[in-house]
Chain A
Amino acid sequence: MELMPIKNPVYVDLWEQIQQQFPSVVSAQEDDYGMLTLYTSKEQIIAVLRFLKKDKHWQFIHLTDITAVHYPLELLPFTVVYHLQSLVLNLRIRLKVAIGGEPPEIPSATTLWPGANWMERETYDFFGIQFLGHPDLRRILNMDELEAFPMRKEYPLEDPNRVDKKDLYFGR
């Protein structure tokens, strides 16, 4: 991947510090909309999150969101996306971890934020991503009997076997 240089000086500082702390964090990129994205690995993610949260200067204490994106054609098909916010510096960043395997596994962030609990349950519910160390990884919005993980791209929006929605009934 070709990376654009980071323009925002605050992000440059942050990226330099992260590189010092975690030499093997893969890369960082600032997008057109002024948001820094850090790409890291599932081995590193908790350490990076802990650094970002606990660091006296950066204080990314607000875990805004955890979700995932499914790229079925990629080698590592699932990307777990974290949005963090530093209320003191008024700064938002995005962290991405690409994972593969079946089931895909990643350590849970509940050790750092109890509030990650439901966000990770939701992500598990829809993508089947196992958050290792999560205290209560159950489905949250879908019914317990559901066997599939419905936000995966291969899961159809509608049941293709439905017989009550034939096109001819709708003049198509």
Chain B
Amino acid sequence: MGLIEKVFSLLGPAIHTDWGVHPADRKRPAADSPVRGLPLPERLHVPLQQHIGAAARPIMLVGQTVLKGQLIAEAQGATSAAVHAPTSGIVTAIGDISAPHPSGLSFSAVTIESDGADRWADTGASVDPFSLPPQEIARRVAAAGVVGLGGATFPSALKLGLGLRAKIHTLILNGGECEPYLSCDDRLMRDCATEIVDGIRIMLHATGATRALVGIEDNKPEAIASMTAAAHDFPDIKVRSVPARYPMGSEKHLFSELTGQEVPADGRTTDLGALVHNVGTAWAVHEALRQGRPLVERLVTLNGGALERPGNIRVPIGTLVEDVLAFAGLRSEPARLVMGGPMMGNRLPHARVPVVKGTSGILALTAAEAASLEPGPCIRCSTCVRACPVGLLPLEMSARIGVDDLNGAVALGLKDCIACGCCSYVCPSRIPLVHYFNHAKGELAAQGRAQLRNEAAKRLAAARIERLAREAQEKTAAAARRKAERAAQKAAEKAAAEAAQQAAQPAAEETTT
């Protein structure tokens, strides 16, 4: 350590420690009410794109009968996930349905009309997962269509494979659940701690990691108690309480909190030997390996002031949000519907959208909860700078994006923004800062795509010019060949004629003599 660094280390830690915000968590009473099951809906609309990557390819035909847990769409491409039937019934349509996305655009879904029996497909004989090689576990996790249940929905099998390749030593289980209102992970840890711990052990085996750290925010004492009890017999699994603070559930922040190391700006936790998975994913891995059950339902938090009976319910994938809302009962017409948490969730265009694998919560917010105030001018108070968990300058970045200077924003670190929304939350002028960043990131991605397209067009144009030249050359070559053939034919004819003549001459001579 150099002298200057020594002096600075005396002054305090290099990373600023007062990042993030402390919104009112509003998790109770929903978190405390027991889990309920949703009555089986008549129709389920199972989307083919519920994960990051390429959409799954449907393998069913309309009119076919399916059993619960049967594969209905297979993964296609390197980054993709399989989709399974959430109940038994008949495939009645494969078509478009509105996506749970603020754009209101639609995506493809398989519609299954339930037969009411909810019959499972043959899930196969269960084997001891610890007798399987790690690659086989990843393969089974992929076959079960498991994706990250924390919200990012990255295919879990790929992540396990990545961990194995990157030779990670620590598996971090994210039980932070820092978003206000949400309590599905909390509820799962309270009720299914044994299953989660078993899933963690399988994941340890699959990644080759030597220890697992479960990080749970200290506003969930029941979950911490239940997980600690479940992990008691396994010394390689440690349950740690972390301070409740948003966005503690961000993988880089939870990692820093648990290990004391900071992830570099353009790096990942795997660079430092750690892989982060959600606790819900551990449960899904347990279900996939021990029961042979694919991911066809999940725990969803129903919360918000407009609901009669908030709580956590078990929802089959593909259930319409309106069915879920009807089950929970609406006290008043919600002013805003949100899928996910209030900080990073997606505002829904309407309630006729399906629940997907990444749906952690459905919030029906009243006008008072969803107050959207008119933004004022920036007063340069720098509250957002203190709140930013990655140490960026939101006010400066948004000023640049405001005048379309995207490169200026990138130079200030736009690409490190995790879109947590802390800046917008604390802004006294109500400037939609994170909205600027989301816009700019989308614009940059679109520019990148345009650039790729441009390059592809250039290649195609060059290929065409080359093709035209080749064709012209082939044409002349063919013409020359034909000419040569004709000439050869003529020569042959001539030679034949001459030979005939010569043959005729001696004969004539003979006759004359």
- Asked if A and B bind, the verdict is no
Which residues does A use to contact B, with CB under 8 Å? Answer: none
Which residues does B use to contact A, with CB under 8 Å? Answer: none
